[in-house]
Amino acid sequence: MRVAFVQNVWFDNLGPIGLAEILERQGHQVRFFLEDRSWVKRIVEWAPHVVALSATTGNHLPMLKMAEIARSAVTPRPVVILGGPHATFFPEVIHHPALDAICRGEGDLALPQFLAEMEGGGLPEKIPNFWIKKDGVILKNEIGPLVVNLDDIPFPRRTPLYSEYRFRRNYPVKTTVSSRGCPFGCIYCYNNIYKKMVRGKGPYVRRRSVSHLMEELLYLHKTYGFRSLEILDDIFTMDKAWTLDFAREYARKIRLPYAVLSSPGFLDPEIIEALKDSNCQWIAFGIENGDENIRRTILKKPFLNEDYRELAGMIKKAGIRIQTFNMVGLPGETVEKAMETVRLNQEIRADYAWCSMVQPYPGTELAEICLKQGLLREEDLEWGGIASKSIYDQGMIQNEEGASLSNLQKLFPLMVWFPALEPLFRLLIRLPPNPLFRYVHQATLGWQVKRRGKIRLLETLEIYRRFARHY
């Protein structure tokens, strides 16, 4: 069976490339089609039996548009399946006319089973995780068990993607994950909802063995090469013994620069020193807001400012660079309140301070709070509303200083890098939002991508050409 994975973003989407590996081992032919001028012509020529898409909330509208195009252009008409976070949390998307089925939650077990039964003829009706549209009726199956042992999942060789797109094959930064699940319960994140959805289906937080992860990294290094590595676990250092074991193996076998995400409470001097010795050059963590009362009581992130000062001090002492994640535009937030977040980043000497606009996605506790306070309308949370604004553009929450906060978000890294220019920045953020500030934001983000990934100038320009419209 020919299976086409379609996506509108030019990066290694780890969910689909992992599924592609499983399906190839099942005997299916798999190809990727990234949105460009020729993708429709090429997918029509290949005539897949199945078109699979993965969408996040906020990116679902362009993905549904691609589903519509593929469904109408390919002959005979393919079966169109949507998976990923949007299908998981908003299964009502099954009613979209371009879709035949959706897959909720993990697809590692469900999608191969779905395709195996499809080969017998027609759409299967009783596959866990799947909602199926059949004869005008929506058949709803419950979410099945989680994959308990992540080593049972083969690591992706990425051949279906890289054989089609040299840009992705030659991209000098490779990404991977070593775990699934997050121990925190932040109110702006879907982790809380998903934990409830899969309760009783298996352990929520799971981790690959060091040997399984190293097998993948050695394969990527030998087959494609990379200059740096991004390990995208929510909290990479959750298990101290595992982290120390990984650091030893990575230092011995690869030792190329890499970056991880962590948090206060999951790092100590011994872990940080081991990461440094294995050539970890960046550690990222979320601050979110510089007002610890807001962070702890509203966002439900249980850390004090002193925790971040202590963590940053340990990381800086080891000679590792720091990236932080921040957000502005919370209910009632003013420019003065947002400046507390800027100043905390200045104080800990963040090497790059990522900042986004708060987006209260439907179903999250944050969205419910905003609705109750009259800061959002129900229509803001419908498909058009949540896709019409970007976390890099302007917030959805009604705020008297929303325009200034949107400008502050775009200038945030510069404000952290150059604290002496605060009077100038205060004047700039009071100007009307304008394209220049968007370009400044893209430039600072591009500079961070370049230096963190050891990327050359021409490569950076090519990355900008591919990615600018998403930021």
User: What is the average pLDDT across 66-73?
Assistant: 97
pLDDT value for 388: 46
Residue tagged 């499809």 (tokens): 118
Rounded to 5 degrees, φ, ψ at 123 are -85, 125
Range 171-470: architecture per CATH? Alpha-Beta Horseshoe (3.80)
Rounded to 5 degrees, φ, ψ at 406 are -65, -40
Please provide the size of the chain in residues: 471
- The tokens for 314 are 């340990």
- Superfamily of domain 2-140, CATH level 4: Cobalamin-binding domain (3.40.50.280)
pLDDT tens column, 152-206? 999 999 999 999 999 899 999 999 999 999 888 777 777 878 988 999 999 999 9
**Angle (nearest 5°) at CA 452 between 446 and 456:** 65
pLDDT tens column, 403-420? 999 999 999 999 999 999
Which residues, other chains included, contact 362 with Cβ-Cβ below 8 Å and sequence gap of 6+?
A: 57, 89, 90, 381, 386
pLDDT tens column, 429-458? 999 989 999 989 988 988 888 888 888 777
Cα–Cα nearest to 49, from 125, 123, 110, 106: 123
Residue 289 Rama label (left phi>0; alpha psi -120 to 50; beta): beta
User: What is the average pLDDT across 89-101?
Assistant: 94
User: What is the average pLDDT across 357-369?
Assistant: 81
Q: In what order do the strands lie in the sheet with 29-34?
A: 29-34, 2-7, 50-54, 79-83, 101-103, 130-134, 137-140
Rounded to 5 degrees, φ, ψ at 277 are -65, -25
pLDDT value for 391: 60
CA distance 80 to 91: 15
Residue pair 115/1 in contact (Cβ under 8 Å)? The answer is yes
pLDDT value for 447: 86
pLDDT tens column, 274-317? 999 999 999 999 999 999 988 888 888 889 999 999 999 999 99
What confidence category does residue 461 fall into, taking pLDDT thresholds of 50, 70 and 90?
Answer: confident
Annotate 258-318 with three-state secondary structure.
EEEECCCCCCCHHHHHHHHHCCEEEEEEEEECCCHHHHHHHCCCCCCHHHHHHHHHHHHHC
> What is the torsional sign of CA 310, 313, 317, 318?
positive
Which residues, other chains included, contact 205 with Cβ-Cβ below 8 Å and sequence gap of 6+?
A: 179, 180, 181, 182, 183, 238
pLDDT value for 385: 52
* 77-86, 131-140, 215-224, 388-397: least confidently modelled range: 388-397
Rounded to 5 degrees, φ, ψ at 63 are -70, -40
Structural domain boundaries in the chain: 2-140, 171-470
Could you count the other beta carbons within 10 Å of the beta carbon of residue 19? 26
User: What is the average pLDDT across 50-71?
Assistant: 93
